[in-house]
């Protein structure tokens, strides 16, 4: 076999694997408004930086007729690439083909049940997509059969349930794009390896002193005072933060505190769309 023939054979094998579980499986995934594992990874990584590892790996299972089944990449896409120019390793289970001191982030973009749900629960951060992802040990059918309780998959283990009630998940996003964007944002706060310093962010100097705060607490510490007067200082304080700082999360603690007093009009605060949803009580939740 010539070198050209070997390269042609390699390209043919690669094309077979890149078809994932086949055109019908991919079409079904797209019809549900979902991406394939590789498409999600390409969306997450800096353009053109992802290098796949063990693309041609094959399983060695022979039980239950598995010996006759060809599962591209054994149903898991693994590799490395860059996010914001920094090297990141990633893996994603391919639903179309199959059912150290390293921070791990799980993005749930579909049903995750049974034994598979334990793995993301043990990772450091979990991001879920509303109305699309669920996490539970047993599904609604089993719950109904064993307890007689009727419950939907969304109420049992949806994004809202796990970000507002159980605390299993940390972030809830309205779409896959928003979920993966949140991952990129989270990674921007983390160092590239254990023991390294986290990334330094640009600081824009502005008016750091807020004389208004001097009038909140009485000079005499024995005197009571009304905490709710803080609402009078909410907008001046928030508007003093430049937009570039707001995009890096500088406003989160202030906003969360001020929300106790009264809703803040997000249009009056210099923030990006994700943080704007947080202020306005939207579906994107920071916890």
Local mean pLDDT, 10-residue blocks, the chain (287 residues): 86 80 82 89 93 81 68 81 93 72 84 89 90 92 91 92 90 91 87 77 64 75 76 60 49 50 50 43 37
Residue 85: its pLDDT value, please? 93
Is the whole model's pTM more than 0.85, yes or no? Answer: no
Residue 221: its pLDDT value, please? 82
Residue 282: its pLDDT value, please? 38
* 210 CB-near residues (< 8 Å, 6+ apart): 233, 236, 237, 240
196-200 own/partner pairs: CB under 8 Å, 24+ apart: none
Residue 214: its pLDDT value, please? 74
Total Cβ atoms within 10 A of residue 12: 9
Residue 238: its pLDDT value, please? 60
Residue 108: its pLDDT value, please? 95
Residue 278: its pLDDT value, please? 41
For 218, phi then psi, to 5°, come to: -60, 150
* 184 CB-near residues (< 8 Å, 6+ apart): 44, 83, 84
């Amino acid at each position: 076999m010539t070198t050209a023939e070997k390269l042609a054979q390699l390209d043919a094998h690669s094309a077979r694997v890149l078809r994932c579980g086949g055109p019908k499986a991919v079409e079904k995934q797209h019809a549900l408004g979902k991406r394939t594992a590789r498409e999600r990874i390409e969306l997450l990584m800096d353009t053109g930086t992802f290098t796949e590892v063990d693309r041609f790996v094959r399983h060695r299972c022979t039980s239950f007729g598995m010996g006759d089944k060809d599962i591209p990449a054994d149903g898991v896409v693994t590799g490395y690439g860059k996010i914001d120019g920094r090297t990141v390793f990633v893996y994603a289970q391919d639903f179309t083909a199959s059912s150290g001191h390293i921070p791990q982030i799980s993005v749930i973009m579909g049903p995750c049940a049974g034994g598979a749900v334990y793995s993301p629960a043990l990772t450091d951060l979990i991001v879920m997509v509303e109305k699309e992802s669920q996490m539970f040990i047993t599904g609604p059918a089993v719950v109904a059969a064993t307890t007689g309780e009727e419950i939907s998959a969304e109420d049992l283990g949806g994004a809202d349930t796990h970000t507002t009630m159980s605390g299993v998940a940390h972030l809830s996003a309205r779409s896959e794009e928003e979920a993966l964007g949140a991952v990129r944002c989270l990674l921007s706060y983390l160092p590239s390896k254990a023991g390294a310093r986290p990334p330094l962010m640009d600081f824009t100097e502005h008016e750091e002193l807020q004389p208004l705060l001097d009038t909140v607490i009485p000079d005499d510490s024995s005197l009571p005072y009304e905490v709710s007067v803080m609402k009078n200082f909410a907008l001046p304080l928030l508007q003093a933060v430049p937009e570039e700082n707001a995009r890096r999360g500088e406003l989160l603690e202030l906003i969360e505190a001020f929300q106790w007093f009264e809703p803040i009009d997000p249009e009056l605060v210099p923030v990006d769309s994700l943080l704007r949803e947080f202020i306005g009580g939207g579906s994107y939740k920071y916890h």
